[in-house]
Structure 1
Amino acid sequence: MTRLQASRKIVLVVFMISTFAIGMTEYVVTGLLTQFASDLNVDISTTGLLLSVYAISVAVFGLILRMITIKLPPKPLLIGLMVVFIVSNTIAATAPNFEVLLLSRLLSALMHAPFFGLCMSIAFTISKPEKRPSAIAAVQGGLTIAVMIGVPFGSYLGGIFAWRYVFWFIVLLGVIALIGLILVTPNQKPTFTPNLREELRIFKNKNVLLVLAIIIFGFSGVFTAYTFIEPMLREFAGFGVSGITTGFFFFGLGAVIGNFASGKIHPNLLTERLISALCILATVLVVFTFLLQFSGMAPVMCFLFGAGTFGTTPILNSKIILAGTEAPSLSGTIAASTFNLANSIGATLGTIFLNADISFRLITLIAAGMIIFGMILTIVTHKVEDKSLFSLEKA
């Protein structure tokens, strides 16, 4: 192993620790809503704002912050964003009321998209062309591992002690990540000065716009169904707390395996594999509630749902970064923001459907239809996109 390879791997490990902490912050609140409601004297429905405000803030304010800071060097900016993360979770751990806790979520969300975007950009830059999808998957890998391990552990920690201890644990992770970022993040000397007006031309790039459309109109179907996975496990599989925890673990396990498997896809094959992944994911959702009735199949279906969901994510991220040549500084942040926009759209649609007395079974079928629409967009993309953008010779 050469020094260059070792350095690259260490950088990616530090990025994974960082994104693990951020992913835990994003998702762990789902297992703590009851505690928030009880301790802070708010309705359980109100605590759902901790999720929706986070997703919307990432989608909107994250991109704005990255545009404001576009001329700053990557390393100091990464370090500064991690400091914001640590401060925001310290505020959460000491929040005297729900309003302050909600403010802490807003601060955490503010740094999410720029941080992920910068990490993906640096990982892309320090990797050989054939290693770039796997480097992007490694950055995303921290978040998927958080879904598998961090969220169940956080829920357990909150149940044994109190929800504030969960945020103190996340602060500790943030400090470890901060030290790692200071020590190993490369000091990249910019070969050009980023120009915001030039980088915003990415929104005129048909190759990028098609991928953004796939995420918004197709991938959003994932969260239309995922939002209600817990009550579906109760209703169809008859699971209690331990069964639901097992289901979420298998979802996370599938997410980790799907994420890293997709990272090994050759750049030239990204679109073809995306079509296959979306087809499989839609099929899983079509049969999801039917097979949940067999309790032995429930963990399998959760695993496949997780693998399909997070198996598509690094492919879509890679396509945006590879195609967005005019926006090397913004492309990763745009990708992260768009995914969170899709998440909030999907969750909102799911809630609207449920409030309209649409059954869980029909909601999963609607979600599958949305993903199929995303697959159709991907087929169209495969026909019209500039394939030279994904060629190793071009890279």
Structure 2
Amino acid sequence: MTFHEVYGGEPDGVWAAPGRVNLIGEHTDYNDGFVLPLALPHTTRVHAARRDDGVLRLHSADSGAQTGDGVVRLRVDELEPAGAAGWAAYPAGVVWALRTAGLPVGGADLHFESTVPTGAGLSSSAALEVSTALALNDLHGLGQDPAGLARLCQRAENDFVGVPCGIMDQMASACCTEGHALFLDARELTWRQVPFDLAAEGLKLLVMDTRVKHELGEGEYAKRRAGCEEGARQLGVPALRDVPYERLDEELTRIATPEVRGLVRHIVSENRRVEDVIRLLDAGDTRGIGTVLTDGHASVRDDFRISCDELDLVVETANAAGALGARMTGGGFGGSAIVLVEDALTDKVTEAVDAAFDAAGYRRPRVFPALPGRGAHAE
């Protein structure tokens, strides 16, 4: 359905925000660390019209079976955390976050359509939030910059939806630029755009969406975050970002439990891996990052314990077939892996993974290249 078919009028404009894939830096953002995401060409688009009567109407072309006209109707002055269900909680939470920040959002009619795969660990929720925030920012003249909108979107997801995510997804969706990865310091909220033109070097970064999401993952994200906070408490630091990599082995002897010890080891070593990838990219050695990606997968598999059989199979098979490196990306327990591969070996690696999934009785993954796209924008 179109905006006109849903609401009977025309939108004031169309805004888009991308999903993201994280090159390296998994679960480091809520530990005040470093991340290196890039925006995908897949976007959530919102057709939006301003309202000044305090009414918020939401409709998604992608929400599947719907009752009635499928429109969610809310009042902006009655929004409270957990006051909206399902996909609508994300845009409603953005409106709530904007208003609690003292910004004059009067209401809107919003119609969403998206090409960002859901459940693939590619930040479909952040794309939904950031597209909403940018549309409302322009419609109501709020004057917020992209980083400010990203922070408010994170608050919406943390405090309204109830997901304790870090800032990476929203910052990537809001601030990435085409042809670049975003090197972000999640504590200082400083960043720089790192050129990432794989095609010029005869390389591809493949996203392999396993199309599985294991129920074990429900609630495990929050447990990992709480475990990281416990590790920082035991070490007497504000966040695990403050643990020096050079003293990691010594510091680990102070951690009481093996589970927390593994979380600490992953976060501290993962921050170092982000810095290693940046050094390699700055030196023009893009191929050299492959081994760092694979090391990162071993860390999320063994220390952070968020991988799964399907993701491990992608990584093992792709590397055995000649990939330069591979790792899972996103929150874990399913979703996607990324594979760095010579362009000439793309078909060989993809066919090897397909064959391995066939042999294991899994549905073949959905494969597409990660082409660094632009951040949120008006169309």
Do both share a fold (TM > 0.5)? Answer: no
TM-score, normalization by structure 1 = 0.28
TM-score by length of 2: 0.29
- Structure holding more helix per residue: 1
